[in-house]
Amino acid sequence: MQLAGFSTHYNISFELPRNEQGTTRTVEQLAYLLTHILPVPVMLLAANRRSTGIGVRPRGDRIEITADFTPDAPLMIATATVIVGIVREVMRWPSYEISVLDETDIPVIRGFRPMPHTTRKGWLARFDCYPENPFVSDIDGDKWPTTDGRFLSLRAIAGQLPPLDALTAGCIFAPRCPLVQPRCTAAEVPLYSANGSLVRCVLQETATDR
């Protein structure tokens, strides 16, 4: 974590081996996916009414999240804890395609359109990427429409991020997986260790490094 002026930079290592990345698990795709998950909880923890945006940048071997005008050190520590937990869990998902959000209960504000970072490679959830400026809004007002048809407050959106290691009772990718089996949707899929990473896939149950 580095404090530069009024901007805080949180860096989390991208530790997915290259042979596990494929075409749907690149650091760039992860950054774009996280741009739809992280901004609201980060802005509630680490921003104030003078803030203008939350950035998510792919940096080759790491993901960098930026927030301007972080108000105080204890909240910076809390923010770092939340960011690291979310990023490391999402990093285990079998795909970083944005469509995976449709398989979860993670609320995304309808009409949100992240923009390319203004000065660096990556994405920015700036105040004008939303239907109205969330940084100056009442965090308890149930006025934010989500892509799944709800109207929630910013506090509720941030608080309803589910435990990301238990998103559903079955595999969220089962509906479009060519190797799906009945047990994939019958119960929660346990974590298996494969090639140094933890994955939720029944096809890994015979892996030697469980």
The least confident of 86-100, 137-151, 176-190 is: 176-190
Q: What is the average pLDDT across 143-160?
A: 91
Nearest Cα neighbor of 196 from 185, 182, 207 is 207
| Closest among 185, 206, 177 to 194, alpha carbons compared | 206
Q: How far apart are CA 140 and CA 125, in angstroms?
A: 20
* Burial class of 199 by CB neighbour count within 10 A (0 to 12, 13 to 18, 19+): middle
Pair type for strands 7-13 and 53-58: unpaired
Location of structure tokens 């990556």: 122
Rg of the chain over Cα atoms, rounded to whole angstroms, equals: 18
**Per-position b or e across 65-84, b if 16+ CB within 10 A of its CB:** bbbbbbeeeebbeebbebbb
- Average pLDDT for residues 86-102, to the nearest whole number? 88
What's the rounded mean pLDDT across residues 67-95? 83
Residues 1, 76 contacting (CB under 8 angstroms): yes
Residue 136: predicted pLDDT: 93
Looking at the whole model, is its pTM more than 0.85? Answer: no
